[in-house]
Amino acid sequence: MELYFSALFEEAGQPEFKPWRPLLRHLAAMHEGAMYENPTSPAPYPLETLGGGYYFNPAFGHWDLIYTLLDSCPVMPEHTLRQLENLFSFQQEDGFMAGAIFFRGADYPRPSWYSTFPPVWPLAVDEYTETTGSLQAVKLAYQPLLKQIGWFENNRKAIDFGFFFKDMIEPKNWESGVDESIRCETVQERDRFPNIDATSLVRLLYDAAARWSEALGLDGSEFARKRDELDSVIQTRFFSDETGFFHDSYLLDRNIRYRALTAVWALTCGAASEEQANRMIDGSLLDPGHFFTEHPLPFVAVDEPYFQLKMWRGGAWNSITWMAVLGCLRYGRKDAALKIAERVLKYSQLQYDRTGAVWEFYHPFGRSQTEMQRKKAPWLLPCREYLGHNPLFAFARLLVRGA
Protein backbone atom coordinates (compact mmCIF):
# COMPACT_ATOMS: atom_id res chain seq x y z
CA MET A 1 0.00 0.00 0.00
CA GLU A 2 1.32 3.44 -0.91
CA LEU A 3 2.29 5.55 2.08
CA TYR A 4 0.69 8.97 2.46
CA PHE A 5 3.87 10.39 3.96
CA SER A 6 6.31 8.60 1.66
CA ALA A 7 8.20 11.87 1.13
CA LEU A 8 8.99 12.06 4.85
CA PHE A 9 10.21 8.46 4.92
CA GLU A 10 12.42 9.19 1.91
CA GLU A 11 13.80 12.31 3.56
CA ALA A 12 14.62 10.39 6.75
CA GLY A 13 16.61 7.95 4.63
CA GLN A 14 18.85 10.58 3.08
CA PRO A 15 22.54 10.32 4.09
CA GLU A 16 22.68 13.68 5.84
CA PHE A 17 19.89 12.63 8.21
CA LYS A 18 21.72 9.50 9.37
CA PRO A 19 22.47 10.77 12.93
CA TRP A 20 18.73 10.94 13.68
CA ARG A 21 17.39 8.41 11.18
CA PRO A 22 15.68 6.03 13.64
CA LEU A 23 13.95 8.95 15.35
CA LEU A 24 12.86 10.59 12.10
CA ARG A 25 11.61 7.35 10.56
CA HIS A 26 9.59 6.78 13.70
CA LEU A 27 8.22 10.31 13.47
CA ALA A 28 7.28 9.77 9.82
CA ALA A 29 5.35 6.67 10.90
CA MET A 30 3.59 8.79 13.53
CA HIS A 31 2.53 11.27 10.84
CA GLU A 32 1.22 8.31 8.82
CA GLY A 33 -0.70 6.91 11.77
CA ALA A 34 -2.24 10.28 12.61
CA MET A 35 -4.38 10.46 9.45
CA TYR A 36 -8.08 10.11 10.24
CA GLU A 37 -11.29 10.11 8.21
CA ASN A 38 -14.76 10.84 9.58
CA PRO A 39 -17.80 10.86 7.27
CA THR A 40 -19.63 13.46 9.40
CA SER A 41 -16.80 15.98 9.31
CA PRO A 42 -17.26 19.10 7.15
CA ALA A 43 -13.57 18.92 6.26
CA PRO A 44 -13.00 18.06 2.58
CA TYR A 45 -9.92 15.88 3.19
CA PRO A 46 -8.72 13.30 5.72
CA LEU A 47 -7.51 15.00 8.90
CA GLU A 48 -4.03 14.88 10.37
CA THR A 49 -4.72 14.54 14.08
CA LEU A 50 -2.57 15.32 17.10
CA GLY A 51 -1.28 11.76 17.14
CA GLY A 52 -2.24 8.40 18.53
CA GLY A 53 -0.58 9.01 21.87
CA TYR A 54 -2.70 12.04 22.78
CA TYR A 55 -4.96 11.07 25.65
CA PHE A 56 -8.01 12.56 23.91
CA ASN A 57 -7.24 11.45 20.35
CA PRO A 58 -8.59 11.56 17.71
CA ALA A 59 -8.48 15.34 17.79
CA PHE A 60 -7.77 17.88 15.08
CA GLY A 61 -6.57 21.46 14.98
CA HIS A 62 -5.15 23.79 17.63
CA TRP A 63 -1.53 24.95 17.31
CA ASP A 64 -0.47 21.30 17.21
CA LEU A 65 -1.67 21.02 13.61
CA ILE A 66 0.49 23.94 12.55
CA TYR A 67 3.61 22.45 14.15
CA THR A 68 3.04 19.20 12.25
CA LEU A 69 2.58 21.12 8.98
CA LEU A 70 5.80 23.07 9.51
CA ASP A 71 7.44 19.66 9.90
CA SER A 72 6.20 18.23 6.60
CA CYS A 73 5.52 21.21 4.33
CA PRO A 74 8.98 21.49 2.69
CA VAL A 75 8.56 18.02 1.17
CA MET A 76 4.74 17.78 1.15
CA PRO A 77 3.31 21.25 0.46
CA GLU A 78 0.02 19.93 -0.94
CA HIS A 79 -0.66 18.24 2.39
CA THR A 80 -0.31 21.60 4.11
CA LEU A 81 -2.79 23.15 1.68
CA ARG A 82 -5.33 20.40 2.32
CA GLN A 83 -5.01 20.58 6.09
CA LEU A 84 -5.42 24.36 6.05
CA GLU A 85 -8.59 23.91 4.02
CA ASN A 86 -9.73 21.38 6.62
CA LEU A 87 -9.00 23.86 9.40
CA PHE A 88 -10.93 26.67 7.72
CA SER A 89 -13.93 24.38 7.19
CA PHE A 90 -14.57 24.57 10.94
CA GLN A 91 -14.33 28.39 11.16
CA GLN A 92 -17.56 30.15 12.15
CA GLU A 93 -19.09 33.06 10.26
CA ASP A 94 -18.00 35.54 12.93
CA GLY A 95 -14.39 34.41 12.50
CA PHE A 96 -14.18 32.20 15.59
CA MET A 97 -11.95 29.14 15.25
CA ALA A 98 -12.49 26.36 17.79
CA GLY A 99 -9.59 25.43 20.02
CA ALA A 100 -9.68 21.81 18.86
CA ILE A 101 -12.10 19.41 17.24
CA PHE A 102 -12.60 16.16 19.13
CA PHE A 103 -13.97 12.87 17.81
CA ARG A 104 -13.32 10.59 20.77
CA GLY A 105 -16.43 8.87 22.05
CA ALA A 106 -18.60 10.21 19.24
CA ASP A 107 -19.32 9.59 15.57
CA TYR A 108 -19.28 13.30 14.80
CA PRO A 109 -16.90 16.24 15.36
CA ARG A 110 -17.19 18.04 18.69
CA PRO A 111 -15.42 21.43 18.45
CA SER A 112 -14.38 23.17 21.66
CA TRP A 113 -16.69 26.17 21.28
CA TYR A 114 -15.69 27.64 24.65
CA SER A 115 -12.27 28.88 23.51
CA THR A 116 -10.13 29.50 20.45
CA PHE A 117 -6.42 28.71 20.11
CA PRO A 118 -3.27 30.81 19.59
CA PRO A 119 -3.46 31.93 15.93
CA VAL A 120 -0.15 30.58 14.68
CA TRP A 121 -1.55 29.15 11.44
CA PRO A 122 -0.30 32.00 9.15
CA LEU A 123 3.17 30.51 9.66
CA ALA A 124 2.03 27.42 7.73
CA VAL A 125 0.65 29.58 4.91
CA ASP A 126 3.97 31.39 4.66
CA GLU A 127 5.87 28.09 4.73
CA TYR A 128 3.77 26.82 1.83
CA THR A 129 4.34 30.04 -0.11
CA GLU A 130 8.09 29.94 0.47
CA THR A 131 8.25 26.26 -0.49
CA THR A 132 6.22 26.48 -3.69
CA GLY A 133 6.41 30.11 -4.80
CA SER A 134 2.64 29.88 -5.28
CA LEU A 135 0.00 32.21 -3.82
CA GLN A 136 -2.54 29.39 -3.65
CA ALA A 137 -2.41 29.14 0.15
CA VAL A 138 -2.58 32.92 0.51
CA LYS A 139 -5.70 33.01 -1.68
CA LEU A 140 -7.24 30.19 0.36
CA ALA A 141 -6.40 31.80 3.70
CA TYR A 142 -7.04 35.49 3.03
CA GLN A 143 -10.74 35.66 3.91
CA PRO A 144 -10.41 33.33 6.95
CA LEU A 145 -7.59 35.63 8.12
CA LEU A 146 -9.71 38.77 7.83
CA LYS A 147 -12.58 37.07 9.64
CA GLN A 148 -10.32 35.95 12.48
CA ILE A 149 -8.81 39.41 12.84
CA GLY A 150 -12.34 40.77 13.20
CA TRP A 151 -13.13 38.16 15.84
CA PHE A 152 -10.05 39.01 17.92
CA GLU A 153 -10.76 42.73 17.65
CA ASN A 154 -14.37 42.18 18.75
CA ASN A 155 -13.73 39.63 21.49
CA ARG A 156 -10.15 39.74 22.78
CA LYS A 157 -9.14 43.39 23.10
CA ALA A 158 -7.49 43.94 26.46
CA ILE A 159 -7.81 46.81 28.89
CA ASP A 160 -6.19 49.96 27.46
CA PHE A 161 -4.00 48.22 24.86
CA GLY A 162 -3.09 44.88 23.34
CA PHE A 163 -5.00 41.61 23.44
CA PHE A 164 -5.70 38.84 25.95
CA PHE A 165 -6.52 35.15 26.11
CA LYS A 166 -9.57 33.84 27.92
CA ASP A 167 -7.34 32.42 30.67
CA MET A 168 -7.44 35.94 32.13
CA ILE A 169 -11.18 35.94 32.80
CA GLU A 170 -12.04 32.25 33.17
CA PRO A 171 -9.89 30.10 35.46
CA LYS A 172 -8.87 26.76 33.97
CA ASN A 173 -9.88 27.76 30.44
CA TRP A 174 -6.30 27.77 29.07
CA GLU A 175 -7.16 29.35 25.72
CA SER A 176 -3.50 30.37 25.53
CA GLY A 177 -2.54 26.71 25.23
CA VAL A 178 -0.56 27.01 28.47
CA ASP A 179 -2.43 24.86 30.97
CA GLU A 180 -2.07 25.83 34.64
CA SER A 181 -0.31 29.02 33.64
CA ILE A 182 1.69 30.68 36.39
CA ARG A 183 0.25 34.09 35.53
CA CYS A 184 -3.22 32.90 36.53
CA GLU A 185 -1.94 32.05 40.01
CA THR A 186 0.34 35.00 40.71
CA VAL A 187 -2.54 37.46 40.24
CA GLN A 188 -5.89 36.31 41.60
CA GLU A 189 -8.09 39.04 40.13
CA ARG A 190 -9.68 38.36 36.75
CA ASP A 191 -9.91 40.94 33.99
CA ARG A 192 -8.98 41.55 30.35
CA PHE A 193 -5.30 41.94 31.21
CA PRO A 194 -2.94 42.34 28.21
CA ASN A 195 -0.92 39.21 27.40
CA ILE A 196 2.43 39.24 25.60
CA ASP A 197 1.58 36.06 23.67
CA ALA A 198 -1.91 37.13 22.58
CA THR A 199 -0.73 40.60 21.59
CA SER A 200 2.25 39.26 19.64
CA LEU A 201 0.11 36.72 17.81
CA VAL A 202 -2.47 39.32 16.77
CA ARG A 203 0.53 41.27 15.50
CA LEU A 204 1.30 38.16 13.42
CA LEU A 205 -2.24 38.30 11.99
CA TYR A 206 -1.92 41.98 11.11
CA ASP A 207 1.45 41.43 9.48
CA ALA A 208 0.11 38.53 7.43
CA ALA A 209 -2.87 40.63 6.34
CA ALA A 210 -0.61 43.50 5.27
CA ARG A 211 1.76 41.25 3.31
CA TRP A 212 -0.90 39.05 1.76
CA SER A 213 -2.99 42.06 0.73
CA GLU A 214 -0.02 43.47 -1.14
CA ALA A 215 0.70 40.09 -2.74
CA LEU A 216 -2.90 39.94 -3.97
CA GLY A 217 -2.85 43.50 -5.29
CA LEU A 218 -5.01 44.86 -2.46
CA ASP A 219 -4.57 47.72 -0.02
CA GLY A 220 -3.04 46.44 3.22
CA SER A 221 -2.02 49.80 4.68
CA GLU A 222 -4.55 49.67 7.52
CA PHE A 223 -3.22 46.30 8.65
CA ALA A 224 0.35 47.59 8.42
CA ARG A 225 -0.62 50.56 10.59
CA LYS A 226 -2.17 48.30 13.24
CA ARG A 227 0.88 46.01 13.12
CA ASP A 228 3.24 48.93 13.66
CA GLU A 229 1.12 50.23 16.53
CA LEU A 230 1.33 46.85 18.25
CA ASP A 231 5.10 46.79 17.70
CA SER A 232 5.36 50.03 19.63
CA VAL A 233 3.10 48.75 22.40
CA ILE A 234 4.98 45.46 22.73
CA GLN A 235 8.39 47.12 22.77
CA THR A 236 7.43 49.73 25.36
CA ARG A 237 4.80 48.11 27.59
CA PHE A 238 5.82 44.44 27.74
CA PHE A 239 9.63 44.59 27.89
CA SER A 240 11.65 44.86 31.10
CA ASP A 241 15.05 46.53 30.91
CA GLU A 242 15.80 44.90 34.25
CA THR A 243 15.41 41.32 32.96
CA GLY A 244 16.02 41.90 29.25
CA PHE A 245 12.88 39.86 28.67
CA PHE A 246 9.23 40.24 27.72
CA HIS A 247 6.50 39.84 30.34
CA ASP A 248 2.76 40.41 30.57
CA SER A 249 2.34 44.13 31.16
CA TYR A 250 -0.02 43.70 34.11
CA LEU A 251 2.61 41.55 35.82
CA LEU A 252 5.23 44.25 35.28
CA ASP A 253 2.80 46.74 36.81
CA ARG A 254 2.75 44.52 39.91
CA ASN A 255 6.53 44.08 39.96
CA ILE A 256 6.29 40.40 38.94
CA ARG A 257 9.08 39.46 36.56
CA TYR A 258 9.49 35.73 36.04
CA ARG A 259 10.82 34.37 32.74
CA ALA A 260 8.52 32.07 30.73
CA LEU A 261 8.31 31.27 27.03
CA THR A 262 4.98 33.03 26.60
CA ALA A 263 7.47 35.79 25.75
CA VAL A 264 9.00 33.97 22.80
CA TRP A 265 6.19 35.08 20.51
CA ALA A 266 7.57 38.61 20.50
CA LEU A 267 10.55 37.16 18.61
CA THR A 268 8.68 34.65 16.47
CA CYS A 269 6.20 37.27 15.30
CA GLY A 270 8.82 39.98 14.77
CA ALA A 271 7.51 42.46 17.33
CA ALA A 272 10.74 42.95 19.31
CA SER A 273 13.34 45.54 18.43
CA GLU A 274 16.74 44.23 17.32
CA GLU A 275 18.26 45.19 20.65
CA GLN A 276 15.48 43.54 22.65
CA ALA A 277 15.69 40.36 20.60
CA ASN A 278 19.44 40.05 21.07
CA ARG A 279 19.17 40.72 24.79
CA MET A 280 16.56 38.01 25.12
CA ILE A 281 18.52 35.52 23.00
CA ASP A 282 21.92 36.05 24.63
CA GLY A 283 20.77 36.88 28.13
CA SER A 284 18.06 34.25 28.51
CA LEU A 285 17.62 31.66 25.76
CA LEU A 286 21.34 30.83 25.49
CA ASP A 287 22.02 31.17 29.21
CA PRO A 288 22.31 27.76 30.97
CA GLY A 289 21.14 29.46 34.14
CA HIS A 290 17.82 30.30 32.51
CA PHE A 291 16.79 28.27 29.44
CA PHE A 292 19.79 26.64 27.73
CA THR A 293 19.52 23.30 29.50
CA GLU A 294 20.60 19.90 28.20
CA HIS A 295 17.27 19.62 26.39
CA PRO A 296 16.28 23.20 25.63
CA LEU A 297 14.12 25.14 26.21
CA PRO A 298 12.17 24.63 29.48
CA PHE A 299 8.98 26.66 29.37
CA VAL A 300 9.87 28.37 32.64
CA ALA A 301 13.46 29.37 33.36
CA VAL A 302 15.20 26.91 35.67
CA ASP A 303 16.23 29.62 38.14
CA GLU A 304 12.66 30.78 38.74
CA PRO A 305 10.90 29.80 41.98
CA TYR A 306 7.96 28.64 39.85
CA PHE A 307 10.06 26.11 37.93
CA GLN A 308 8.93 22.49 38.27
CA LEU A 309 9.43 19.26 36.34
CA LYS A 310 5.87 19.64 35.18
CA MET A 311 4.19 20.34 31.85
CA TRP A 312 4.11 24.15 31.37
CA ARG A 313 6.13 24.80 34.54
CA GLY A 314 9.43 23.49 33.20
CA GLY A 315 8.85 20.91 30.51
CA ALA A 316 10.81 21.36 27.28
CA TRP A 317 8.32 21.52 24.40
CA ASN A 318 10.01 20.96 21.05
CA SER A 319 7.25 22.93 19.34
CA ILE A 320 7.71 26.08 21.42
CA THR A 321 11.46 25.70 21.10
CA TRP A 322 11.03 25.64 17.31
CA MET A 323 9.13 28.92 17.64
CA ALA A 324 12.15 30.29 19.51
CA VAL A 325 14.42 29.01 16.73
CA LEU A 326 12.27 30.79 14.14
CA GLY A 327 12.57 33.93 16.24
CA CYS A 328 16.35 33.62 16.31
CA LEU A 329 16.43 33.19 12.53
CA ARG A 330 14.11 36.15 12.05
CA TYR A 331 16.60 38.40 13.84
CA GLY A 332 19.65 37.07 12.01
CA ARG A 333 20.80 34.85 14.88
CA LYS A 334 21.44 31.62 13.02
CA ASP A 335 24.24 30.90 15.48
CA ALA A 336 21.73 30.71 18.32
CA ALA A 337 19.23 28.75 16.24
CA LEU A 338 21.82 26.08 15.42
CA LYS A 339 22.98 25.74 19.03
CA ILE A 340 19.43 25.19 20.22
CA ALA A 341 18.51 22.84 17.37
CA GLU A 342 21.57 20.66 17.90
CA ARG A 343 20.69 20.02 21.53
CA VAL A 344 17.00 19.42 20.83
CA LEU A 345 17.81 16.68 18.34
CA LYS A 346 20.52 15.18 20.52
CA TYR A 347 18.27 14.78 23.54
CA SER A 348 15.11 13.87 21.59
CA GLN A 349 17.15 11.06 20.03
CA LEU A 350 18.49 10.10 23.47
CA GLN A 351 14.99 9.78 24.90
CA TYR A 352 13.91 7.82 21.82
CA ASP A 353 16.83 5.42 22.31
CA ARG A 354 15.79 4.97 25.95
CA THR A 355 12.04 4.67 25.52
CA GLY A 356 11.30 4.01 21.85
CA ALA A 357 8.89 6.94 21.89
CA VAL A 358 8.40 10.57 20.98
CA TRP A 359 7.01 12.56 23.91
CA GLU A 360 4.56 15.41 24.37
CA PHE A 361 7.19 17.36 26.32
CA TYR A 362 10.64 16.53 27.62
CA HIS A 363 12.84 16.53 30.68
CA PRO A 364 14.91 19.73 30.44
CA PHE A 365 17.94 18.03 32.01
CA GLY A 366 17.74 14.91 29.85
CA ARG A 367 16.88 12.60 32.74
CA SER A 368 14.13 9.98 32.87
CA GLN A 369 10.78 10.99 31.44
CA THR A 370 9.15 9.37 34.47
CA GLU A 371 10.25 12.41 36.48
CA MET A 372 8.02 14.67 34.38
CA GLN A 373 4.39 15.27 35.26
CA ARG A 374 1.30 16.30 33.40
CA LYS A 375 -1.25 18.53 35.07
CA LYS A 376 -3.44 15.96 36.81
CA ALA A 377 -4.31 12.32 37.38
CA PRO A 378 -5.04 9.84 35.95
CA TRP A 379 -2.49 10.84 33.29
CA LEU A 380 0.51 11.95 35.25
CA LEU A 381 3.15 11.32 32.60
CA PRO A 382 3.56 13.28 29.36
CA CYS A 383 1.69 11.76 26.44
CA ARG A 384 3.81 9.10 24.79
CA GLU A 385 3.88 9.04 20.96
CA TYR A 386 2.62 12.62 20.70
CA LEU A 387 2.96 14.04 17.21
CA GLY A 388 1.58 17.54 17.63
CA HIS A 389 4.48 19.15 19.49
CA ASN A 390 7.43 17.59 17.67
CA PRO A 391 8.55 19.28 14.41
CA LEU A 392 11.80 17.32 14.48
CA PHE A 393 12.24 17.17 10.70
CA ALA A 394 12.33 20.96 10.79
CA PHE A 395 15.16 20.91 13.34
CA ALA A 396 17.08 18.36 11.26
CA ARG A 397 16.70 20.38 8.05
CA LEU A 398 18.08 23.42 9.80
CA LEU A 399 21.18 21.54 10.95
CA VAL A 400 21.97 19.82 7.65
CA ARG A 401 20.89 22.47 5.17
CA GLY A 402 20.82 25.68 7.11
CA ALA A 403 17.14 26.22 6.34
Q: Which of 24, 3, 37, 135 is CA-nearest to residue 81?
A: 135
HEC per residue, the chain: CCCCCHHHHHHHCCHHHHHHHHHHHHHHHHHHHCEECCCCCCCCCCEECCCCCCCCCCEECHHHHHHHHHHHCCCCHHHHHHHHHHHHCCCCCCCCCCCCEECCCCCCCEECCCCCCCCCCHHHHHHHHHHHCCCHHHHHHHHHHHHHHHHHHHHCECCCCCECCHHHCCCCCCCCCCCCCCHHHHCCCCCCCCCHHHHHHHHHHHHHHHHHHHHCCCCCHHHHHHHHHHHHHHHHHCEECCCCEECCHHHHHCCCCCCEHHHHHHHHCCCCCHHHHHHHHHHHHCCCCCCCCCCCCECECCCCCCCCCEHHHHCECHHHHHHHHHHHHHCCCHHHHHHHHHHHHHHHHHHHHHHCCCECCECCCCCCHHHCECCECCECCCCECCCCCCCHHHHHHHHHHCC
What is the model's pLDDT at position 385?
Answer: 97
What is the model's pLDDT at position 403?
Answer: 58
Query: Could you tell me which residues come within 8 angstroms of residue 387 by beta carbon, excluding any fewer than 6 positions away?
Result: 27, 30, 31, 34, 49, 50, 51, 52, 53, 54, 64, 68, 358
- Note the pTM of the prediction, 2 decimals: 0.97
Query: Could you tell me which residues come within 8 angstroms of residue 64 by beta carbon, excluding any fewer than 6 positions away?
Result: 50, 100, 319, 387, 388, 389
Digitized pLDDT (tens) for each residue of the chain, 403 residues in all: 478 999 999 999 999 999 999 999 999 999 999 999 988 999 999 999 999 999 889 999 999 999 999 999 999 999 999 999 999 999 999 999 999 999 987 777 999 999 999 999 999 999 999 999 999 999 999 999 999 999 999 999 999 999 999 999 997 899 999 999 999 889 989 999 999 999 999 999 999 999 999 999 999 999 999 999 999 999 999 999 999 999 999 999 999 999 999 999 999 999 999 999 999 999 999 999 999 999 999 999 999 999 999 999 999 999 999 999 999 999 999 999 999 999 999 999 999 999 999 999 999 999 999 999 998 756 789 999 999 999 999 999 999 987 5
What is the model's pLDDT at position 377?
Answer: 59
What is the model's pLDDT at position 123?
Answer: 99
What is the model's pLDDT at position 171?
Answer: 78
What is the model's pLDDT at position 108?
Answer: 78
What is the model's pLDDT at position 297?
Answer: 99
Q: Tell me the domain boundaries of the chain.
A: 6-401
What is the model's pLDDT at position 170?
Answer: 92
What is the model's pLDDT at position 79?
Answer: 98
What is the model's pLDDT at position 98?
Answer: 96
CATH topology of domain 6-401: Glycosyltransferase (1.50.10)
